Structure 1
Amino acid sequence: MKWTSVSVRLPRSFTRVWVLTDTGRETTGYVKSSGEWHINCERIRATGAMVLRWRED
């Protein structure tokens, strides 16, 4: 699948997708109903990583 920039569009709320962060790490995550990203991996989330791109699997 092709990576989609978060500036282009977001996935549907609560749909698990693969995300690429600004730290270069890949993990799963989803968008909350408020439009905020939630990164599922605690270790990556603890670094304050921001989601740059996402893709469905």
Structure 2
Amino acid sequence: MSWQLASKPPKPFERVWVKTSNGRQTTGYVNSGGDWVINCPRIAAQKPEVTSWRK
């Protein structure tokens, strides 16, 4: 599947692969408030922005 822009998020709580603003890839999801949650604590600690995602 191709990468989608983060401005069009997936369904809430659907786990997807994400690319971050610091060039890392990991899994994440969108919570019920519409905010991205990054599953990897080491990457999340850097507080990057999600730039794109894919299933």
TM-score (norm 1): 0.93
Name the residue aligned to 2:5. Answer: 5
Give the CA deviation at 1:19.
0.1
Q: Percent same amino acid at aligned positions?
A: 53
Name the residue aligned to 1:53. Answer: 52
TM-score (norm 2): 0.97
Secondary structure class of the residue paired with 1:29: strand
Number of corresponding residues: 55
Gaps of 5+ in 1: none
Map 1:1-57 onto structure 2 (within 5 A).
1-7=1-7, 9-56=8-55
Give the CA deviation at 1:22.
0.2
Gaps of 5+ in 2: none
Q: List 4+ stretches of structure 1 deviating above 2 A.
A: none
**Cα RMSD (Å) of the superposition?**
0.5
